Amino acid sequence: MSYPSEANLQRAIAFFAALGIGVATYIAIAEAGGGAPTCLAGGTGCETVAKSSYSHLAGVNIAVFGIVGYVLLLTTAFFANDAARFGGFAVALGGFGCSIFLTYVEIFKIEAICQWCVASAVLMTILFLLNATRLIGYAGAEDAGAGHRELRPKESG
Partner 1 sequence: MSNRREREKRKEERLRVESRAESADRRTKLLQLAAGAAFLAIVVVVVLIVVSASSGGDGGDTNLEGTAEVNSLLSGIPQREMLLGDPKAPVELVEFGDLQCPVCAGYAEEVLPPLIEAQVKRGEVKIDFRNFTIIGPQSTPAGAAALAAGAQGRGWNYLELFYRNQGGENSGYADDAFLEAVAKGAGVKDLAKWNQDRAKFEAKVEETTAEAVELDFNGTPSFAIKGPSTSGLKTLGTPESTGALEEAISEAS
Residue numbers at the binding site for partner 1 (CB under 8 A): 34, 44, 47-48, 51-56, 59, 82, 85-86, 89-90, 93-94, 96-97, 100-101, 104-105, 108-112, 132, 135-136, 139-142
Residue 80 CA: distances (Å) to CA of 33, 36, 126: 40, 38, 19
Query: Least distance to partner 1 from the beta carbon of 7, Å?
Result: 19
- Beta carbons of 14 and 78 less than 8 angstroms apart: yes
Query: Least distance to partner 1 from the beta carbon of 140, Å?
Result: 3
Query: Least distance to partner 1 from the beta carbon of 21, Å?
Result: 22
Query: Least distance to partner 1 from the beta carbon of 97, Å?
Result: 4
Nearer to partner 1 by C-beta: 75 or 103?
A: 103
Q: Which residues contact 71 (CB under 8 A, 6 or more apart)?
A: 17, 21
Query: Least distance to partner 1 from the beta carbon of 73, Å?
Result: 15
Nearer to partner 1 by C-beta: 6 or 47?
A: 47
Looking at the DSSP bridge assignments, the partners of residue 57 are: 60
Nearer to partner 1 by C-beta: 2 or 53?
A: 53
Residue 100 CA: distances (Å) to CA of 5, 94, 105, 121, 157: 29, 10, 9, 8, 46
* Of 76, 31, 21, 37, residue with least CA distance to 57: 31
Helix axes 115-138, 6-31, angle to 10 degrees: 160
Nearer to partner 1 by C-beta: 100 or 152?
A: 100
Nearer to partner 1 by C-beta: 71 or 93?
A: 93
